[in-house]
Copies of this chain bind each other. A is one copy, B any other.
Amino acid sequence: MRPKLTLKQIARELDVSISTVSRALRDSSEIGEETRKKIKAFAKFYNYKPNNIALSLKNRKTKTIGIIIPEIVHYFFTTVISGVEKVANEKGYNVIVCLSNNSFDKEVLNMELLANGSTDGFIMSMAKETLQKEDYHHFAEVINQGMPLVLFDRVIDEIHCDKVIIDDVIGAKKAVQYLLDTGAKKIGLVSTVDYVSVGKLRTRGYLEILRENNIEVDQNLILKIEDMDNSEAEIKDFIDKNEVDAVFAVNEHFAIHAIKAIQEKGLKVPEDVSVIGFTNGELSKRFIPSLTTVSQHGERMGGEAAKLLIDKLERKPDEGESYKTVIVETSLIERNSTKSLI
């Protein structure tokens, strides 16, 4: 076992000073041709690589971006990571991913951990528990310390920072309008409770578009799932009790459970009931019938978040503060869970 080579060792070996080695390797013009060649050859031969930790300490920047997300076993989040990673790598940044597992405490812990020298900034989506507690002091904390923060997907007005979101309301409106266009009259909504902001916004879109079409809202046709673990049963019950000719679900899982429930009720999708989901994941593509869905373009969101963050990181401090919110457009992907347009 041969431990890592350092500047000091090279210097000793070649009988020059450490600074000479450092300069030679960075092609400083003030080093003699000879010495430089000699040093570079030696370093190359023994495969010298600078120690990032030392560089981070010295430069007081790490060139890495920290991502903290609620869960990793989740298609949408992985596409976002993928997008962040792509853009970050292009610009010479590395990416660290940490998980909050939707726990407030773990979110705080991870942020503190990464904030203590491991990353230059954050890209995050908030833990569910944080949204419930409405305790955002840890975000204020890092912002205060001068670390840029970009929030995506699950964001909140109270936190002042750059944000990347999708047009949830518009996306939902597109979806419901599409259902109306295919002739649906009684459109059920399967959503989440309101503290999950996406649930709230998509619900708003649903309500707005019905209003715009002068259709009266029937509260019985709105289901708000409280307990994810019990969503299947709740949805089945909802479908059994109500008569609808279309369902708009705020995510894939709800959409699929709706389809199952509809089929078990003896009805056909899309002939009797159309179903539209949200999030264009694996499931939507491969399910049979494949799902018509509102695509969130997670990768694009990740890319935008990375751009915003890196912009902030590389801006001079005197250029003043201003926070942007980038809205990534959704698009409706038509597949086989909806009737075709009339």
Given contacts A52-B113, A116-B50, A117-B51, contact A73 B75 (CB under 8 A): yes
Smallest beta-carbon distance A274→chain B, Å? 17
Q: Nearest Cβ in chain B — how far from A295, in angstroms?
A: 14
**Residue A283 CB within 8 A of the other chain:** yes
Interfacial chain B residues near A52, Cβ < 8 Å: 113, 116-118
Query: Would you call A320 an interface residue if the criterion is a C-beta within 8 Å of the partner chain's C-beta atoms?
Result: no
Q: Are A73 and B79 in contact (CB under 8 A)?
A: yes
Q: Give the number of chain A interface residues (Cβ < 8 Å).
A: 49
Residue contact B57 to A116, C-beta cutoff 8 Å? no
Q: Are A49's CB and B97's CB within 8 A?
A: no
Residues of B within 8 Å of A117, CB to CB, are 51-54
CB proximity of A50 to chain B, nearest CB, Å:
7
- Judged by a CB distance under 8 angstroms, whether A266 is at the interface is no
Interface residues, chain A, with chain B CB atoms under 8 Å away: 1-4, 47, 49-54, 56-57, 62, 71-75, 78-79, 81-82, 85, 94-99, 112-113, 115-118, 141, 144-146, 253, 256, 260, 281-283, 286-288
22 A-B contacts (beta carbon < 8 Å): A1-B145, A2-B144, A2-B145, A3-B146, A4-B145, A49-B116, A50-B116, A51-B116, A51-B117, A52-B113, A53-B53, A53-B56, A53-B116, A53-B118, A72-B82, A74-B78, A75-B282, A78-B78, A95-B97, A96-B97, A282-B282, A287-B288
